Amino acid sequence: MRWGGIVSSWKRFSARMANRLLKRSGSFWQDDYWDTYIRNERHLASTIAYIENNPVKAGLVKEVAEWPWGHARLRIIKHL
């Protein structure tokens, strides 16, 4: 199976489960995806920060550490 097929299969399954849990229907994921080669540690750090900030941008939480499914909260707890 090609990467596109794998991602498509994962997105179909996870969308059905998420919609069921959220008691909703319809589109859940964007139609396409893209992969990115991480060039160095700085690029990795900025990519992680971008991903972690998505729930904040969506208005689901006020701080990245509040998102229960992210690992930012674990990093912050570990440093306390």
What are the pLDDT digits (tens) for 35-73? Answer: 788 999 999 999 999 999 999 999 999 999 899 888 887
Report for 2-6, 7-11, 38-42: range of highest mean pLDDT: 38-42
Q: List, in sequence order, the alpha helices (H) in 23-80.
A: 41-57, 72-79
- Cβ-proximal residues to 23 (8 Å cutoff; 6+ apart), any chain: none
Query: pTM above the 0.85 mark?
Result: no
What pLDDT is attached to residue 1?
61
For the chain, what are the domain ranges?
Answer: 36-80
Residue 11 confidence (pLDDT) above 80: yes
What integer best gives the mean pLDDT of the chain? 86
Distance CA(17)–CA(46), nearest Å, equals 30
What pLDDT is attached to residue 74?
77
Average pLDDT, integer, range 8-30: 90
